[in-house]
Structure 1
Amino acid sequence: MTSVSAHLRPSSIGPAPAPAASPWSPWSAAWTTQAALLTSRPDARVTVTPAAGGPPGFSYPATADIQVDADLIGDPEIADPCRPGHRSKVPVAYGVLLHECAHVIHSKWDPPPTVAPVVREAALLLEESRIEGRYRDTRSRDRRWLRRAVTSIIDPADTPTDTKWSAAYAAGLLLARVDAKILYSGDVREPRRAITKVLGRKLIRGLRAIWREAHTVGDTDTTRMIELGERWCRLLGIDPTVTPSLPADDAATSAIAAAIAGALDAILTNPADAPEPAGNGPRADGPGIHVDTDTPITWAERDARDAERQAANRLTALLRRARHREPARTREPSSAPPGRLRTRAAVTLAAQRASGAIPTAQPWQRTVRRPVPDPELTVGILIDASGSMEDFAKPMSSAAWIIAQAATRAGATSATLAYGDRITVLIPPGRRPAKVRDMRADAGTERFVEACAEADRLLHLSTPGTGRLLVVVSDGHYVNPDESQATITRLHHAGCAVLWLAPDNKGWPSRVYDNTTTVTVDDPTTCMNLIGQAAIDALTRA
């Protein structure tokens, strides 16, 4: 395609005329039925026909008309489109269908005619990842098809030169889809490097804040999308009233275009978008064990810094204090001092002795202190390694080491797990971490519910009888927030305290869940008192 607007036709334009009967009619009919189900629009209509050099797909949200390029399928006899299995035979084409369905569902705003062309282009660029992210929120398993569709929707020729506009445009097409959890961070590693060379990290952070904000905009909020388009232009130093003049160089002259082309080829052949495995949940049986089969969580080991060791020492002392119980005091009668004399018992004892009876009265009462065993403490640590935590990767790795180190030194039972596309047991119960593992937060999703289930299996967090604390390091932006909240609530009702450490990121505020103690932190070495108090609260309720 030559621009993102080719995907989305304004609602003021009528649908294209239906083509005559063709070999593609069964595909059109089958995908029309599918689109009606996905969009909840009985009037939806899909036309599969050769695009003759046009875009791979486009849609009219107002009328729910969609067109998909038949050349993406190739042979109409390749599969029966009425059977679900046909999708694996035509993953790119089916992904384009879902992309256009996402437009029909979520693109309910039109740029006004008075908007400058460059602002309109920027706003529609932001719309691409916004609608895919919204669609994935409700149909996360369709992510694999949307990821494949990117190889057709994005054309390296869209970035003909290594200018700021072209680099930012590529960032909006590729990097924004990582935050929308459509692409994996590993998919865009090379394009990210090429884009960063042109824009610099500071400018990329500014653009990222804009597209992240766009991901939160409602489907009908035209004003806000246009404002974000204007911010995009101003951040790039472009006058919103003037369309930038871009050289028409060949894509091969652009390092960014070459990186994009290589990335798209890799996506077509990378099996990382395999369907999620069926079953009753993940399993783990040792350190560094990945309990399912998607993109692995990786890290680099290093020695702990002085500040981290000092923070671990402070937290160890707090946890020991939290576990310590004062000796129990009980009052016991005694026949001899020391103690407090009870007059009535003394008179009884004197009478017993005077009558020659065996003395049984105990006139003295003393306080006896008996040691009380320290209650058991169990600490589970869950680390979010999804792409939205990328800027917080080093602090979260530091927090994981500090808490795990302190918990084991204080005699608590602990385990540390990282969760993204995979659930990885970083530190199993009973082991103390020797080195800090600086993790890479580049996963395409976050399997929080399954991570909680695995932590519960390892540590029995939902079983009464001990003090239990679950520490979660995450921004809380999840595909299924309702399921996540239900999991937290179940643990809370079972007596497990939940401490949530959220990144201090003003441009991408963390989600706050009920039944948690949520703390916003920038440096985990400064919040040890809060973690220690949460442990005390957990033991108090045990």
Structure 2
Amino acid sequence: MPAHTQAHIQPAPPAVTEAELDLARWEDDGGPAFEPPCHPHAGEWLRIAAALSERLPEIAGREDVLVTCEIGTRSGAPAAFYPTAAQLEIDAALFAPLSPPTIDPLRPGDEDRYPAAWGAFTHEAAHAAHSRWNTPPPLRGTALDAAGAVLEESRAERAHLGRRPGDRRYLRAAVTTLVLKDFTSEPLADRWQAAMAAGLLLARRDAGILDPDETVFLESTVTGILGADLLETLAAIWTASHTTGDEDGQTMLEHARAWCQALGTDPAGPEPAPDPDGEASTELAEAIGKTVSTVAANEAMQAAAQARIDAARAARKQAKAAQAARARQAAQTAEKVFGSGGRPHTPGKPGRGQRGRSPVIDTRPPTGAEKAAAGQLARALRAAAYRERTTTHAASAVPPGRLNMRQALARDAQRAAGAVPTATPWTRTVHRSGPTPPLRVGIAVDVSGSMDIAAAPIASAAWIVAKAVSLTDPDSRSATVAYDRSVTAITAPGRTPRAVTRFAAEGMGHSLAEATDALTAGVDLTQPGAGRLLVIASDGYYTTGEAARAAERLTALRAAGCAVLWLAFDPDPRPLPGATVLELTHPAQAATAIGKAATAALAAAQP
């Protein structure tokens, strides 16, 4: 039987170590001062052991078990449990290659960094919780004892999974690193060894630890050694042991006795040892090796899938945090731009002599042509916002509605037969008007020196759009800002300007990113349920930093469902990516272009 299975359950108390004897003598007769053995990170392993002791009650449901974690164990196994002493030991080597100072079992999720060590710890905790019986002393070391220990392995883990199904991945890691590797050092494939492999691995498959596809080749190999009938008999024994109670030692011993009898082994005799003169065979070792490989591959795929899920979850969380930060920043910028009383807002901390200069010149009354254009645009927007009525037909047992004679006759027949009437002879037609989506339009106009030719047409277009939007729907809003190095409000959100604001294009720099933030928060360009449009009038001659910051905002707006229209007047425009570019041969076409884009955005809006 594998060495780990033989050694990891110790009915007798652990042997007293030389260090403990030295300490006892020093405390008893005042002998030479006790000097504990010096191991690297000895203090860290004590801390880790204390943390494992603190975690054990939640896993095993016991608070009386003490955990030790040292380099090497008293039992010689990677981990062991001493029922009579209520002690659990685990070899520090299982945590390799992690550095001890980085290991913190009290930190939630830290166990995912060392699943094999945590699996061994969980396995021993399962024994602490569920292995409440022991082989009587006269029978220890016999074949009966070995068979009982093998059956107890999968029984305890199955009982543990009933309480904590989430520990399955750790128990699988323990099987792979602690149990399966033990067989590779025992190449003799006799009946007893094959039965032990089946009891440790195929029984774990039936207990829900391993997957069926991971043990197919092993089952075929064991069947070839034992025969199908004998393997079926052994499977019935371990299946019965899975339903045996934690304290029903008598029944477990009966299962172990039946196991020995099925294999033709004397239960009271020693465990059969491999014949040293027998012919070595790698068949069983190869089958177990394939099982190891399959388990490792499945775990790797599962870990990769979980890593992708965790990465996606972290990315979504980070994206939400970034989106919230952008929204706060946009709201602050909008408050500074639209709440400044028309004074320009310069992003960042302005230096001496760098205060923003307002591009606003004065205001003028709108012309008749501008008023007519606003009226035409308002009618076009209302037409685009119109939604057809929805028609619903509903069947009913009572009027009003249209009478369906077939259903009425069926209802009469049901009554005549003494049955409960279920026919619905009346049909009602209900017409409901669909909700009309509002419109949100933000206009950002470049007022750097190269845009002087577009200043007057954009000022006229901004008034036309603001007036038309106010005539379309009470909930519709528009706003216009001018930007160079500073951002200045031209028309405020929700306010219908009485006059056309004229501005000059004589500035320097381009704060399109901050202008976009102000419009995004000012007219809710990221909120669904409305036709949303951002219009940018610029030649696009920006520095690399200005373009990158502005492009980031435009990408976020498009992802939120807002249309972005770029009006270009220069013969060689350089629009930013992510915007729909419209090159106008004359700036006077701006109002018409904006109107068409706004109409399209409103028609495509999902109310």
| TM-score with structure 1 setting the length | 0.49
- Decide which structure has the larger Cα Rg and report it: 2
Q: Which has the higher helix share?
A: 2
Q: Which has the higher contact order (CA 8 A, sep 6+)?
A: 1
